[in-house]
Chains A and B, each alone.
Chain A
Amino acid sequence: MTSFPMILTERMTAHPADSHLLDRYEATGGYETLRQALLSMKPEEIVEQVKAANIQGRGGAAFPAGIKWGFLAPIEPRYLVINGDESEPGTFKDRQLLERDPHQLIEGVVLTSFAIGANHAFIYIRGEYPKPARRVQQAVEAAYAKGYLGQNILGSGFDLDVMVHLGGGAYICGEETALLNSLEGLRGEPRLKPPFPAVEGLYAKPTIVNNVETISNIPWIVANGGDAYAAIGDVDSVGTRLFSLSGHVKKPGNVEVPMGLTWRELIYDIGGGIRDDNELKAWVPGGASAPWFVAEHLDTKVTKDDCAKAGSMLGSGAVIVMDETTNVVAAAHRIVKFFSHESCGQCTPCREGTTWLERILWRLLNRAGRPSDIDLLLDVCDGISPGLAWPPRMTTICPLGPSAVSPITSIMTHFREEVESMIPGLQEVASA
């Protein structure tokens, strides 16, 4: 791993006591980029820098932010929405950014709004994050008081109002269109796409939805230039990323690392290896929706393309490590149960299929499975995600349904024998 700048976490590492306060933020160069940019840059120039930076969205889909901004329909008003719903199991990186460096996000919000021509921005924070929400709200108020938000920001003539909104405790509201519905006071259900939010988003107006981490990178990119950002990391995936390491590693927690290191480096060097020096069994590379990796993937590079080729994704940046003691059926059941509980219920395959999958796994876990359950599991999965391919095809409106398929295909691909061993009938056949 070569040396790299700490883009997101330098301030909070150096000043753990007050990195969230405006004084500290200003004392460490905060809002300087904004001042410069508002006075000397045109909105298009910021968009150009972000395009050159080639930063991929950090919310899950890894779509290049600059390109997304370019899709905005030429209609006013436009909105910026920051996705801080962070509810994917194992993901807790946005929480740290919200709680420990809210002004970094706010500066990113103002720069982005200026770039895309939005005068209203919304920061949507998951309902179970009261402290981060409080910190962000306080930071927003402080920024208003100092003229970083509101009318005629820093004398530039640019106006921006920012509203902080707390979710009601539904994972699906992290999906961008469900989030927009939730903001509008409707049921948190994903919308049909097209139209995409950049064309018809919040209140049917062109809207950019970006993740907290994505936007927290913007001040650095504008300050240092897109090319400097693109030079960090690997070829296709650049910059640094905040990973939430959890599970059976010795040093769990959030880490900022450059893209392009290997999984081995991430789990063993940075994560300190497996607890009790146990054997690594598998890990979830990018949040509960991602198909699992196993030992053979340790030397795969941590990039969008390399992981996609290996059949998974970096997703929300949650790395959940499982050691040899893990019952994979129990792990898969827990994840499927989560998705079934969080399904919004709109579409048939997700609403009915995920519940069914959960119940079949529960049967297996309780040694009440039947030999036919293996095929049944896969066939129900096929009804949600035809062909069980990666990236998934879907019979559903949003990817939540297919997300519940990932852990099942993972255990069937890598641990089929172990799964079969839990079915009484099959055990007998095997031992006969």
Chain B
Amino acid sequence: MPEQPPPEMVTISLDGQEIEVPQGEYIIKAAEDQGTYIPRFCYHSRMKPVGLCRMCLVEVETPRGRILTTACNTPVAPEMIVDTESAVVQKAQEGILEFLLINHPLDCPVCDKGGECPLQDQTVAYGPGESRFVEEKRHFEKPIPLSDIVLMDRERCILCARCTRFSEEVSGDPLIEFVGRGNQTHVITFPDEPFASYFSGNTVQICPVGALTAKPYRFKARPWDLEAIESVSMVDASGASISIETSQNEVVRINGVDNDATNHGWLSDKDRFVFQAIHSENRLATPLIRDDAGDLQPASWGDALDRVADALGSVRGDEVASIGGANNTNEEAFALGKFLRTVVVTPHIDAQVGDALNPEFLAGVTPRAEIGDLDGAATILVWAGDLKEEFPTLFLRVRHAVTQMGAKLIVVHPRRTGLDNIAAEKITYRPGEGPEVVRKLTAQGDQDYGAVRDLLTAGPVIALVGLTGRAEDPRLAEAVAAYALGLPGSKVLPLARRANVFGALDMGLAPTLLPGRVPVKSESGRAELESHWGPLPGEAGLDTAGIIAGLAAGDLKALLLVGADPVRDGRNPDAVRAALDAAEFVVSLDMFLNDSNQQASVILPVDGFAETEGTVTNIEGRVQKVNRILPGPGQSRALWSILDELSSRMGGQLGAGDGPAIAKEIALVAPAYRSMTWDRLEWGPERDGVVMPDRDGVQELRFVPDDSGLRPTAGRLALHSGRVLYDGGTRNTQSPALAGLTPDPAVYLHPRDASALALADGQEVDVAGEFGTVRLRLELDPSLAEGSAYVPANLDSTWVLGVPDVVTVEAQSSKGKKNEKKKGKKKGAGE
């Protein structure tokens, strides 16, 4: 955590005991830290107190006598005398509980919360023995759906306003509100506006009763049947702590765990409900081998591994390449890298697909910020994808820093983002013109962006830097980081999205990096690793784009796809498909069939999230433990064990017999991970994760990237290919709760561009680029930079477009051709 000045301490008397507590802390928190639990319903440590439920009443001595006050919103003061258990307090608490229960349906046996309900628990601890209320209870229609995911039982609601406060204060989408008054007060959505929040599941988690329930868990299990294990969400690379809960070997729920360093306990609905994909009937459960007729047939592990070992053994090592590995644990990634470098002996390794940033930049930028640094920032610069779509829990941390901690926010992006409404300044630019913006920000005496530059004179500046869209030149992010590092007190948090991409890079799944953030070109670093592994190739390998080109050209012959789908994620889907066709042998290690591995020669089913134990590394370089709570489906196996067995078949020795063994080897050979052990992460103060130190030396950053030369002219619009949270990716489509949330595909144009092209809102149009054409509905979007077209990436149909730099948009041609690909003009075999 970033250093913060130690708080001033004051002495108060709590139930007759003198204690030292930080000045200004609320009594409820100060008491809790000393082991005195004051009952509560509405108080939540991550939100502002509202003092509604009145459960936390305590007595405080004042010059005017003893007063009853709520501990959740009364700060401690020097010499304060607090009584939490006087007769008056106990009577009041009993009273509150009796009041809360008079209208409560007491349908605990059929309530999801039953067994883990604060109302139940506190009634047992502090409540009256029985109710004296004999009249008819309050009735509401129930349950009513607030959204596709969340349902509301207003009779159970105790009106603590945790849900409404969360929506307004934390997530900033206040779609639920109290309506009515007095005894008829209830929580509901606005007419015709569902509770369509990316964060709605948090309200279910923090609701102190069973009023809010989530469809994926409703009636699934009773809390006392649940088995739970802590882990880390693999939806994005922010490292949100979670608990995975199973009932009879089925994951039934994921809850957020309050990790001070990362997610503050909050999750996006994708983090929360994506577990449904684990149990998808489409999971691969047995090895598949393509037969002579070209069909995939179930096979035994022995046959499948023989086939792979034969194929990989029959070509030169450096004719083999590997794409993927960013959704695996560090241990798996490490085993994969070691397998490729020492058994296969190839340098062509890349964990990044399609939206790659320079791995040396991602792993090496210094000083690298921690998420917690946001809270101490004077200014936050976000020049990256829309965090709400790509890093939802990080989005909440930026919101927290801005709305609660007073940081000023600058957002630079080609279009509106989820953070715009709290940004002090926003720069909107046309994709391709990012270098121009950097130049203007740096040029002395330039008149543009004066307000932005003024804000950036106030440090500490924390810069969140990544690609704003898939069509962007990846070198721009380096230029932005280089610029940001020149700002006062600045640190950079580099953003790449895939779950464990930072771990994969740290484990050496990059053409230019060896394990432990050691560049391949570092003689000493390589020599050190060679002392453990024997001789290694001294040259950097090919990245994903190079691998695709190499396959197409016949220089590369065999490919491993490790949880990767480059057809969907690549720049030019047709070219990738052609390269896969050209390959002599493709083996895919995956959980699902996808657009790329459909053509593979062998498909091996692997264990995934919640099925493997190990560590992961987030955007900060924070290493955290992920845990296994159930076996993979059917015959699926852990990646490391597959690789271990393949190695012996290929006459090598991987030494990856189990996870702990690999972890030990990582600590031995990966310099940045030298002190890392699983034990550290499982017990004690480091359970929030440990940030691995920056690599020595400063990563060289290219300052201003070459001019892209891109000058969109009339009718040719720069493509903004931004990501959306609920895209057409496997995890979404295989999770029923999320599958329906995918937005309808569309192309967005600035109204002036649309009118210049004589196109109208809602019209069907053909969007054509270098790699393909797609028919989409047109939506006007005044937040876009003029001269650009926004097409959300990876929705059903939009992915066909690939990622060209420019597109044309025209009225639907009368021939009615749909999703037809343009042949001919190809940009090499470029990926």
Q: Which residues of A contact B (CB under 8 A)?
A: 170, 172, 187, 192, 340-349, 351-356, 359, 372, 376, 380, 382-384, 386-387, 393-397
Contact = CB atoms under 8 A, between A and B. Distances in A.
Given A347-B54, A352-B99, A395-B54, A386 B133 contact: no
B531 interface: no
21 contacts: A342-B181, A343-B181, A343-B183, A344-B185, A345-B182, A345-B185, A347-B53, A347-B54, A348-B100, A348-B158, A349-B95, A351-B99, A351-B183, A352-B102, A354-B183, A383-B96, A383-B98, A395-B68, A395-B92, A396-B54, A397-B52
Given A343-B181, A353-B99, A354-B182, A348 B54 contact: yes
A397 B51 contact: yes
A383 B95 contact: yes
Given A352-B102, A383-B95, A340 B52 contact: no
B493 to A, nearest CB: 32
Interface string B78-107: 000000000010011011101110110000
Interface string B47-88: 001111111010000000001100001000000000000001
B154 to A, nearest CB: 13
Contacts of A376: 132
Given A348-B53, A355-B183, A382-B95, 17 more contacts: A340-B183, A344-B181, A344-B182, A345-B181, A346-B50, A346-B52, A347-B52, A348-B159, A349-B54, A349-B95, A352-B100, A353-B95, A353-B99, A356-B102, A387-B88, A395-B95, A395-B96
B95 A343 contact: no
Q: Would you list the 7 A-B pairs with minimal beta carbon distance, nearest first?
A: A383-B95, A345-B185, A352-B99, A343-B182, A355-B183, A345-B182, A348-B99
Nearest to A375: B132
Interface in B198-230: none
Interface of B: 49-55, 57, 67-68, 73, 88, 91-92, 94-96, 98-100, 102-103, 132-133, 135, 158-159, 178, 180-185
A394 B54 CA distance: 10
B99 A386 contact: no
Nearest to A171: B181
Nearest to B178: A187
A346 B184 CA distance: 11
B185 A351 contact: yes
A164 to B, nearest CB: 24
Contacts of B185: 344-346, 351
A383 B101 CA distance: 14
Contacts of A394: 68
A355 B99 CA distance: 10
Contacts of A348: 52-55, 96, 99-100, 158-159
Contacts, number: 99
Nearest to A355: B183
Contacts of A387: 88
B54 A351 contact: no
Given A383-B99, A386-B68, A352 B57 contact: no
Nearest to B66: A393
Contact of A170 (B88, B98, B181): B181
A355 B98 CA distance: 13
A386 B54 CA distance: 13
Given A383-B92, A393-B68, A355 B54 contact: no
Contacts of A356: 99, 102, 133, 135
Nearest to B50: A192
B183 A345 contact: yes
Contacts of B96: 348-349, 383, 395
A207 to B, nearest CB: 20
Interface centre among A342, A344, A352, by most chain B C-beta atoms within 10 angstroms, is A352
Nearest to B181: A345
A352 B180 CA distance: 14
Given A382-B91, A383-B92, A383-B98, A345 B184 contact: yes
A410 B53 CA distance: 28
A205 to B, nearest CB: 18
A372 B184 CA distance: 27
Nearest to A170: B181
A384 B181 CA distance: 18
Given A395-B57, A395-B92, A352 B183 contact: yes
B781 to A, nearest CB: 29
Contacts of B73: 192
Given A187-B178, A192-B50, A349 B132 contact: no
Contacts of A382: 91, 95
Given A349-B95, A386-B68, A393-B67, A342 B182 contact: yes
A382 B95 CA distance: 8
Nearest to A340: B182
A397 B159 CA distance: 15
Contacts of B183: 340, 343, 345, 351-352, 354-355
B465 to A, nearest CB: 35
B51 A192 contact: yes
Which of A172, A342, A344, A346 counts the most B-chain CB atoms under 10 A from its CB?
A: A346
Nearest to B185: A345
A386 B135 contact: no
A181 to B, nearest CB: 12
B103 A352 contact: yes
A345 B180 contact: yes
A138 to B, nearest CB: 32
Nearest to B94: A383
A302 B210 CA distance: 52
Given A382-B91, A386-B68, A387-B88, A351 B182 contact: yes
Nearest to B132: A376
B68 A349 contact: no
Contacts of A340: 182-183
B251 to A, nearest CB: 36
Nearest to A384: B95
A341 B183 CA distance: 8
Nearest to A396: B54
Nearest to A387: B88
Nearest to B101: A352
- Chain A CB within 10 Å, residue with most, of B50, B54, B88, B185: B54
Contacts of B57: 395
Nearest to B98: A383
A356 B185 CA distance: 15
A331 B734 CA distance: 64
Contacts of A353: 95, 99
Contacts of A386: 68, 88, 91-92
A425 to B, nearest CB: 15
A349 to B, nearest CB: 6
Nearest to B67: A393
Nearest to A345: B185
Contacts of B55: 348
Nearest to A341: B182
**Of listed B49, B94, B133, residue having the most chain A CB within 10 A:** B133
B722 to A, nearest CB: 34
B195 to A, nearest CB: 18
A345 B159 contact: yes
B417 to A, nearest CB: 27
Nearest to B179: A187
B800 to A, nearest CB: 47
Contacts of B102: 352, 356
Contacts of A342: 181-182
Nearest to B89: A386
Contacts of B94: 383
A340 to B, nearest CB: 6
A395 B184 CA distance: 20
Nearest to B57: A395
B99 A345 contact: no
B135 A359 contact: yes
B224 to A, nearest CB: 28
Contacts of A170: 181
A383 B127 CA distance: 13
A136 to B, nearest CB: 26
A346 B180 CA distance: 11
